[in-house]
Structures are given as C-alpha cells and as structure tokens.
Structure 1
Amino acid sequence: MPVRIILLRAVNVGGGGKLPMADLRAIATDLGATDVRTYIASGNLVADVPSDPDAFDRSLEQAVEQRFGFFRDVISRSPEQVRDALDAHPFEIVEPKFSYVSFLAGVPTPAALEKARTHETHDDRWDVIGSEMHIRYADGAGRPQMKSDQIGRALGVPGTARNLNTVRKLIELAT
C-alpha cells in the first residue's frame, strides 16, 4: 500500500469544520488505511492507503461528509511529491511560518493563472508550479497583504495550504 500525505481543506479553522483527529484516524482506518497518523488538528493525515489513492481520497471526503455533515476537499500526495514541492519553493525563506505550499487538486489553466495574476499582492508573493501554489507572506499569514482566497478562487481548483514547518514535519512522519 502506498504511503500518502493526506490534507483536508478547512478543518478546525475559524470555528467551523470541527473534526477531531481521533475521528479522522478512525474513518481512515475504516476505509482500509493502515499506520494512520495525524499531525496537529488541522486535517493532516499520513497513512498507508489502499492501492488507488484518488479513490481513497474521494471515499474519505464522502465519509467525513456523512459523519459530520460538511464537505471538505481531500488532497493527497506521495511523500516524494511533497518533498519535490518543498524543494521547488521559489521564494527566499526568511521565516518558515511565513512561507506556504498550497496543494491544489489539479493544475490551473493558463487562463485561470492569468486571471489570478490580476490580483494585487503588495509585498506578498505567490507562484504556481505544477499543482502547487507557493506563497511567501511578507508579514505572516495573520497579516496578509494579498487576498489568497481570491487568488485561489481565480485559479479554479481547490487547494489547501500548509506552512513550511508543517510540510517538513509531514515529510518526516511519512518517511
């Protein structure tokens, strides 16, 4: 079974999408995953999944919705893909908690990228490499100068962001 780093979008943020990590581990196990681990309470899961990771992701989305009554996108990558995304980060890393990788559900179209680039970013920076959006906030994610949610919507594919500290820890847990 392949090892996957599984990321749920918008879990336990802003008072919504409350999903206890023990329940998430139990759901993943019920779906056939083994060696299931979570990291912090924001929807980060590392597990060995049955042979088709995409089918597992869709099943996890459905199971979470059935059990908790809300839909959350599930986006997963192999540890190698996550490491490659980290290595490809195009911006100087001044503070790892100010730099993010947003793992996208697909590759944005050229037209969507062009539309997204019309949004003002001030000193914040972003770029898309493949199916990842890389972000560097000048003053941290708590005080963003750009509207990353608007950029994300313009890209036309759902994504979920993790700071580089979290990305590194997930790689460590998966290897």
Structure 2
Amino acid sequence: MTRRIHLVRAINVGGTAKLPMATWREIAASLGATEISTYIASGNLICVPPGDPNEFDCALEQAVEERCGFFREVVSRSREEVAAALAAHPFEVVRADFSHITFLSAEPTADAIAKARTFETGDDRWEVVGREMHIRYADGAGRPQMKDASIGRALGVAGTARNLNTVQKLLDLTA
C-alpha cells in the first residue's frame, strides 16, 4: 500500500469537536495504519492504511465518534488524486489562501449541482470537477459572499475543504 491523505471534516474550529492531532495519530495507529503523520490542527492525516482505504475511512469515523463523542466524516485521496485535483483547479489563483478544494465523499449528481447553482455567490466562485468542489473566495473564506454551507447541503454529499496552501503542503509531505 502507499500513503494516503485522510481529511476529517470540521474539527478544532470554533471551540467544538476537539480532536488533538496526537489523538488523531493514535486512532490511526490503533486501527493498524503505518507511516503516520499529521499536518496542522485541521485534521490532515497522512498514513499507509491497512487494507481497503474506504473501510479505513469508515473505521476512522467510528473510532473518532467512540473516543471523542462526536461524528465527523473522513474523506481520503491518494497523492495522485490530490495532485490531479490541484491541477484541475479552474480559477485563477490570486491568493492561495482564498482558493480552496473541497474533497467530497462522492461525486454529486447533476440535479444536486443544478440545485446548488440557485444560490447567489456574489464575487465568490465555485465549480464541481468530479469528486471535488473548487472555490475561490473574493474576500477570503472568513468573509464569504456565497452561502457555502447551503451550497454544500444542496450538493448532498459530505466534504471537507482545504486551501491551496494546505493542499500543496500535503502533496509535499507525501512526495
């Protein structure tokens, strides 16, 4: 097996869903992962999973819920998939921290994308490419003009976003 990038959604933000990275690494190790590392406190785990990556993602979700008391989705990709997602980013990158890739658990349906398109975005932009939603915030993610949570719900699949700086660093760490 090769190292994969596992991303947990919505932890360590706003004082809720605390998941220390040491705990995140311990959980992965307890499930049989090897070559484990984390990057920053937003739930980025790099490891070699034991066996099927999708089953490992589900096991991580269950272990986080059992150990920490909350459920959070885990989405993983191979290094090649993350590199392809970065290469497919459809927007001009003015600032890498204003551009994000949301790694989705599945590809949204055409109907779900059409429903999501009904939301106003102001100067913010988004586009779905396969299993990723690419975003460029005009004023940064902290001051979105679009209702990104509503768009995400309309897409009907779970996902977790990382800015392009983080995406590039995760690629560097898996090189």
TM-score (norm 2): 0.99
Can you list the C-alpha shifts for 1:59-110, whole angstroms capped at 9, x where unaligned? 0000000001100100000000000000000000000000000000000011
Corresponding residue SS for 2:75? strand
- Residue in 2 that maps onto 1:93: 93
- Residue in 2 that maps onto 1:35: 35
Instruction: Output the CA distance in 1 between the equivalents of 2:144 and 2:60.
Output: 31
- Residue in 1 that maps onto 2:149: 149
Q: Is it true that 1:15 corresponds to 2:18 in the alignment? A: no
Q: Is it true that 1:102 corresponds to 2:102 in the alignment? A: yes
Are the counterparts in 2 of residues 2 and 51 from structure 1 also a CA contact under 8 Å?
A: no
Can you list the C-alpha shifts for 1:34-56, whole angstroms capped at 9, x where unaligned? 11000000100000111200000
Letter of the 2:142 partner, please give it. Answer: G
Letter of the 2:33 partner, please give it. Answer: A
Instruction: Output the CA distance in 1 between the equivalents of 2:85 and 2:5.
Output: 13
Can you list the C-alpha shifts for 1:141-164, whole angstroms capped at 9, x where unaligned? 111100110000000000000000
Letter of the 1:81 partner, please give it. Answer: E
Letter of the 1:116 partner, please give it. Answer: A
Instruction: Output the CA distance in 2 between the equivalents of 1:3 and 1:46.
Output: 6
- Residue in 2 that maps onto 1:49: 49
- Residue in 2 that maps onto 1:123: 123
Alpha-carbon distance, 1:8 to partner: 0.1
Unaligned runs of 5+ in 1: none
Are the counterparts in 2 of residues 37 and 45 from structure 1 also a CA contact under 8 Å?
A: yes
Can you list the C-alpha shifts for 1:16-44, whole angstroms capped at 9, x where unaligned? 11000001001101101111000000100
Instruction: Output the CA distance in 2 between the equivalents of 1:61 and 1:168.
Output: 25
- Residue in 1 that maps onto 2:161: 161
Instruction: Output the CA distance in 2 between the equivalents of 1:59 and 1:31.
Output: 7
Alpha-carbon distance, 1:174 to partner: 1.2
- Residue in 1 that maps onto 2:61: 61
Corresponding residue SS for 1:119? coil
Unaligned runs of 5+ in 2: none
Cα RMSD (Å): 0.5
| Percent of aligned positions that are identical | 65
Letter of the 1:145 partner, please give it. Answer: Q
TM-score (norm 1): 0.99
Letter of the 2:82 partner, please give it. Answer: V
Corresponding residue SS for 2:17? coil
Instruction: Output the CA distance in 1 between the equivalents of 2:52 and 2:144.
Output: 37
Are the counterparts in 2 of residues 2 and 50 from structure 1 also a CA contact under 8 Å?
A: no
- Residue in 2 that maps onto 1:171: 171
User: Any runs of at least 4 consecutive aligned residues in structure 1 with deviations exceeding 6 A, and if so which?
Assistant: none
